[in-house]
Structure 1
Amino acid sequence: MAASRPAVPLPRWAETVRRKYIGGEASMFILHHNVFDEILHGGEFYSLVDFLAEVLLKDNKDTILVYDPSAGVRYAKRTSALGTEPVRPNKPPEEALADIEHEILLRHSAALIISYAGSIAPPGEENFLSQADRMAAIRLHRWSMSPELESKDNVVFLLSESLAELNAKIVANPRVAAVEIPLPDLDERAAVIRKVDTGMHEDNVERLAEHSAGLRAVQIAQVLTPRSADNALGDKDRLELIRSLLGSSADAEQRAAKLAGITRGMDTEEIRHLINPDLPLPETDAGDPYAEVIELVHRRKREIIEKECAGLIEFVDARHGLEAVGGAEGIKAELMQIAAAIKSGDKHRVPMGLLFVGPMGTGKTFIAKAFVKASGLSAVTLKNFRSKWVGSTEANLEKVLGMVKALGPIILIIDEGDRSFGGQSEDTDGGTSSRVIARLKEFMSDPDNRGQVLFILMTNRPDKLDIDIKRAGRIDRKIPFFYPDTAEDVEAVLKAIFARYKLGEAIDWAAARPSTSAKLVGYSNADLEAVCLLALNMAGEGSSIDQACFEAAIADYVPARDAGMLEYMEMLAVFEASRRSMLPARYRDMSQEDFNLRLRELKRELRL
């Protein structure tokens, strides 16, 4: 790659490749992550292979080969003076690589681009790989160490969505440079939007660029100008359908015209799904016709990302804010301070991560979702990303972390963290758990993520978590959750539950305290909700819950209790808490000696 800079600036990742190549750091590169996107450069869209062949390598390589295992070999560029027969296109990988070797090792100024490199040199224990896979990995490894490759100004690119999809022999080689191609940043998304919709006002370009975070360039283009389909509606029919869906809403005509533009190419069902009368779009001012467009982009973005990360992440739908949480005033105040710091961009006041710790049924998940609603931030939950297939667990985690980083600022909720990141040993999973935890720790401590990705890790057994995950710089604040400690605390929870389920206001809680809330001290939030719903069933359809009905439900309800284990979980929450002021009175003044003594007693009783 020539030292002179091109007239049009290269993407940052391409500049990194160029710098490493010119500096002699590597002559083999692994390009990973967003390798199937389109790249906007010089006003034109390119696939990654075409960008490499027609932009990055075109002027400084005499021969450019592209190898796709499913399509064979093709020449993107070939100098006729080579004096050798061209590599035949349709050959099995082991033969194709052997023929390609003559071009890239024996000739000067040659480049090789290999798509789907993981299918040629897949990961796994060497004893379990096929002979062809082992030989391919050895050949690529040998190329990376070859002085001829570097001395003759030759270069090799391996394209793979994830490093975990490639043989470790290649990835771990210090002579191979791995360069991540990220999802488009704000400026790149804005450039794509300007290219797709040349008439869009700059203010709306900036708004859409901000709200399309997490989408690839090709997906942004598809959302704004959907590809036509055989059963797509014509312009007139589409406009009439959207008018009927908007009904008599404010500025319906102007809004329908704008929505018709971005639904071009969709059929009736797709349009009905997006512009759903049961999920009405926000009413807007006449001067803000793009509010619906942004709302539709949000919906399409969510569908696209959940489909792409199928089964790995799920967007959080939070119906209730922190006002629906009874009690826990200290926790709510702490969370809102964090949300305000994220929104204001004051990263120094934003923790890297939060640990919600306490017994089951204390409302950890409910408060996490209420925090999402109250903060106005986007949030996703981490689902089961583990797989029985070699390398898939690591690849799944990389896909999730890459997507989360692109969506920031965002909250990543990991429920039952002790199950997601613990419980398996090197002997049972071949070291996968240790690699997953190491990658997670690396991501959690990345200072670039502060204020962009907020981890909320929830568990009732923090003793099962890797101790290094819980250190400051990864989990900066540990928030303990406990069962209501007094009758007043119980009443705060009951009032919130009654309001949430619209159970009426027939009970005077202060007057009824001895026969109601006082009897429920020590019950979990989940138990209190169960008592309220039992009282609702006892009251019968259409009836409100009165004091007698509620007392009957208290007498009838039997909580599932394991007193020893629950106390042990509470003690663990005390042990992990970052601030003494967030502890109940019974633990706040407890001496360290008494605490350690009781914790040891519980461990013996529970045989832990």
Structure 2
Amino acid sequence: MAADARAATPLPRWAETIRRKYLGGEASMFILHRNVFDEILHGGEFYTVVEFLSEVLLKDNKDTIIVYDPSAGVRYAKRSSSVAAAAEPMGANKPPEEALALIEQEILLRHSAALVITYAGSIAPPGEEHFLAHADRMAAIRLHRWSMSPELESKDNVVFLLTESLAELNGKLVANPRVAAVEIPLPDKDERAGVIRKVDPSIDAQHVARLAEHSAGLRAVQIAQLLTPRQQDTGLGDEQRLALIRSLLGSSPDAVERANKLAAITRGMDTEEIRHLINPAHPLPETDAGDPYAEVIELVHQRKREIIEKECAGLIEFVDARHGLDAVGGVAGIKSELMQVAAAIRAGDRHRVPMGLLFVGPMGTGKTFIAKAFVKESGLTAVTLKNFRSKWVGSTEANLEKVLGMVKALGPIILIIDEGDRSFGGQSEDSDGGTSSRVIARLKEFMSEPDNRGQVLFILMTNRPDKLDIDIKRAGRIDRKIPFFYPDTPEDVESVLKALFGRYKLGSAIDWVAERERTSARLVGYSNADLEALCLLALNLGGEDSTVTVEHFLKAIDDYVPARDAGMLEYMEMLAVFEASRRSMLPARYRDMSQDEFNQRLRHLKNELRL
């Protein structure tokens, strides 16, 4: 596109932030972080970040633009006409210490110069100063000195440091008030829509909007690659691939149009991948059989999950929810509470959506299953945050920032943290150099960001809330605390059993009311997990018949031995009572208990269990 069109196109918000801070004299050194390895669509053309800086943002106001890549050396992206056209004096493949010294001579001699350093974390890495190599310390000091240099600022020169995460860069630079950190975010919905229109102008506006919604969390280059994949040698030519797709679609609606679109986006895929795509085991709920873009959206959805899980180094996992809250037996109060939250999320009523939910109660009460059912009910994307204590070694903070940035880009989203006492419990700083405390502090900061309300909903689950950092549980991070208990009446047990029989298709041969004394009355106090194991045992005792009879079920009751630690389970129940946000959600046996009775019983259990 012509230069006039580029000039007429508004700058991205992050570029406007740089422009404002620079012209206002706030900083002459900038750290650009987060999405620095993407391409930027501006004025109808794609640019890398370095190209955007040198050909768009700086082109008309800097005479000299130098780019330093530690692996490729130094080059001029733009050279002042006053500089001799001889070979570049700074050369290539010099050690960073020498390269930075030569660059310093160059930019201090010139007026109106810019320097862009890629992979800045490899030049000035983080760490305790006395553990860093001499060259790393000197590089960090030199860059820090540049940021404070009146001479550099007076000559209208500017320096850009590019890094994916601020945690990958020396703390001297990140904490320097004369250095401005500017985040380049992942593309928002409008930017994703622009990328989709650019790479495939044939897509109509309705499907551009749907694809833009389903590609949340992806970079522009990844969206372009998904919609216009490169040719790979898979043994299938274009005609063979088109013929295979037509045979799979058969006489389905819009088969010809769908086949042509699929042939374009499946280039490079083998036969089995194409078969799985066209007949997916778990299609999207909104996928319509007659929609020619249904498989395109399904492919984007599948590949997005693969890409994001890989980028986040296995630290998050997408949640597949097969059952809604209608598959949950009993717990009517909990389901009602969660249905209200789901309705507020779907309606976009952010003020009615809590910042976070705490699911608390003994093990086996169905916390995880109900969390997944709530995911399906709400219709939101959900991810599980895995145990970062055991996996985030060395680059912990950098990985955390990557995960949180990805979660925010995917919003509205539900973030599930199971066994929250392991993730947020106390841990000695001596054991990991304070990494865990810094990670927890960052997570707490993220959980309380007001902009996250209605965009990122935390669900924290634990059976030991007494081990949680007390600051995590405050309002503004965890607004509602939902207690879970074992079924304490035969009717409650029957509600759970009916749901389990329906979920596993065990038939309806048992009249629960008529058989109450022999069945559900004997199971009061069993956990949901115990009841599930009992149903499956009854199925096995019935042989090949998939219908469970009362005889099979009674045999299972007699044979099954639940694992019990009565004292600990009661203690976990008392903790759930203590944490509950609403008295109406407590069982009758706890609802009218006085505070003195509760405290006395809790102290007794703690002494008995030696906690």
TM-score strictly above 0.5: yes
Specify the alignment match of 1:111 in structure 2. Answer: 114
* Contact 1:183/1:216, CA 8 A, preserved across alignment: yes
Match for residue 351 of structure 2 among 339, 348, 354: 348
The equivalences for 1:508-547 within 5 A come to 508-542=511-545, 544-547=547-550
Match for residue 129 of structure 2 among 126, 129, 132: 126
Alpha-carbon distance between aligned partners in 2 of 1:220 and 1:341, rounded to the nearest angstrom:
30
Taking a change above 3 Å as real, the CA distance of residues 520 and 349 of structure 1, as seen in their structure-2 partners, is same
Alpha-carbon distance between aligned partners in 2 of 1:171 and 1:232, rounded to the nearest angstrom:
50
Specify the alignment match of 1:88 in structure 2. Answer: 91
Alpha-carbon distance between aligned partners in 2 of 1:469 and 1:423, rounded to the nearest angstrom:
12
Question: Offset at 1:307?
Answer: 2.0
CA deviations 1:20-56 (Å, max 9, x no partner) are 1111111111111111100001110000111111111
Amino acid at match of 2:30: F
Q: Tell me, which stretches of 5 or more residues in structure 2 are unaligned?
A: 1-5
* Contact 1:232/1:268, CA 8 A, preserved across alignment: no
* Contact 1:245/1:277, CA 8 A, preserved across alignment: no
SS at match of 2:321: coil
* Contact 1:413/1:455, CA 8 A, preserved across alignment: yes
Specify the alignment match of 2:3 in structure 1. Answer: none
Amino acid at match of 2:403: V
Specify the alignment match of 2:70 in structure 1. Answer: 69
SS at match of 1:469: helix
SS at match of 2:514: coil
Which is further off, 200-209 or 44-53?
200-209
Question: Offset at 1:348?
Answer: 0.8
Match for residue 506 of structure 1 among 509, 525, 534: 509
Match for residue 194 of structure 1 among 194, 197, 215: 197
Alpha-carbon distance between aligned partners in 2 of 1:80 and 1:253, rounded to the nearest angstrom:
58
Question: Offset at 1:10?
Answer: 0.5
Specify the alignment match of 1:429 in structure 2. Answer: 432
SS at match of 2:472: coil
Taking a change above 3 Å as real, the CA distance of residues 407 and 283 of structure 1, as seen in their structure-2 partners, is closer
The equivalences for 1:388-403 within 5 A come to 391-403=394-406
Matched, 1:329 2:332: yes
Count residues in correspondence: 603
SS at match of 1:356: strand
Question: Offset at 1:290?
Answer: 2.1
Specify the alignment match of 1:300 in structure 2. Answer: 303
Matched, 1:258 2:272: no
When the two chains are superposed, the root-mean-square deviation of aligned CA atoms in Å is 1.9
Which is further off, 253-262 or 556-565?
253-262
Q: Tell me, which stretches of 5 or more residues in structure 1 are unaligned?
A: none
SS at match of 1:412: strand
Alpha-carbon distance between aligned partners in 2 of 1:388 and 1:99, rounded to the nearest angstrom:
40
Taking a change above 3 Å as real, the CA distance of residues 283 and 218 of structure 1, as seen in their structure-2 partners, is closer
Specify the alignment match of 2:19 in structure 1. Answer: 18
Alpha-carbon distance between aligned partners in 1 of 2:572 and 2:140, rounded to the nearest angstrom:
49
* Contact 2:389/2:436, CA 8 A, preserved across alignment: no
Alpha-carbon distance between aligned partners in 1 of 2:408 and 2:235, rounded to the nearest angstrom:
35
SS at match of 2:8: coil
Specify the alignment match of 1:284 in structure 2. Answer: 288
Taking a change above 3 Å as real, the CA distance of residues 525 and 431 of structure 1, as seen in their structure-2 partners, is same
The equivalences for 1:10-49 within 5 A come to 10-49=11-50
* Contact 1:355/1:456, CA 8 A, preserved across alignment: yes
| TM-score normalised by length of structure 1 | 0.95
Amino acid at match of 2:377: A
Amino acid at match of 1:329: A
Amino acid at match of 2:560: Y
Alpha-carbon distance between aligned partners in 1 of 2:235 and 2:134, rounded to the nearest angstrom:
50
Match for residue 228 of structure 2 among 219, 225, 230: 225
Specify the alignment match of 1:465 in structure 2. Answer: 468
Alpha-carbon distance between aligned partners in 1 of 2:81 and 2:194, rounded to the nearest angstrom:
38
CA deviations 1:328-367 (Å, max 9, x no partner) are 1111111111111111111111111111111110000000
Match for residue 319 of structure 1 among 318, 322, 334: 322
Specify the alignment match of 1:148 in structure 2. Answer: 151
SS at match of 1:32: strand
The alignment-based identity, stated in percent, is 84
Matched, 1:159 2:162: yes
Question: Offset at 1:140?
Answer: 1.5
Alpha-carbon distance between aligned partners in 2 of 1:145 and 1:485, rounded to the nearest angstrom:
68
Amino acid at match of 1:25: E
Taking a change above 3 Å as real, the CA distance of residues 521 and 387 of structure 1, as seen in their structure-2 partners, is closer
The equivalences for 1:444-459 within 5 A come to 444-459=447-462
Which is further off, 120-129 or 585-594?
120-129
Matched, 1:419 2:422: yes
Matched, 1:575 2:566: no
* Contact 2:426/2:469, CA 8 A, preserved across alignment: no
Question: Offset at 1:111?
Answer: 1.2
CA deviations 1:557-591 (Å, max 9, x no partner) are 11111111111111111111111111111111111
Taking a change above 3 Å as real, the CA distance of residues 325 and 219 of structure 1, as seen in their structure-2 partners, is same
Amino acid at match of 2:357: L
SS at match of 1:137: helix
Question: Offset at 1:470?
Answer: 1.1
Alpha-carbon distance between aligned partners in 1 of 2:342 and 2:82, rounded to the nearest angstrom:
65
Which is further off, 10-19 or 165-174?
165-174
CA deviations 1:224-278 (Å, max 9, x no partner) are 1111224474432221111122234333233222222322454444433433454
Specify the alignment match of 1:52 in structure 2. Answer: 53
Question: Offset at 1:101?
Answer: 1.2
Alpha-carbon distance between aligned partners in 2 of 1:469 and 1:219, rounded to the nearest angstrom:
36
Amino acid at match of 2:306: E
SS at match of 2:197: helix
Taking a change above 3 Å as real, the CA distance of residues 409 and 224 of structure 1, as seen in their structure-2 partners, is same
Alpha-carbon distance between aligned partners in 1 of 2:502 and 2:258, rounded to the nearest angstrom:
37
SS at match of 2:10: coil
Amino acid at match of 1:284: D
SS at match of 1:513: coil
SS at match of 1:533: helix
Match for residue 208 of structure 1 among 211, 230, 252: 211
CA deviations 1:101-138 (Å, max 9, x no partner) are 11223422121111111111111222222121122112
SS at match of 2:506: coil
Amino acid at match of 1:249: S
Specify the alignment match of 1:138 in structure 2. Answer: 141
CA deviations 1:269-320 (Å, max 9, x no partner) are 443343345456877365x422332222211212221222231111111111
Alpha-carbon distance between aligned partners in 2 of 1:511 and 1:473, rounded to the nearest angstrom:
48
* Contact 2:174/2:181, CA 8 A, preserved across alignment: yes
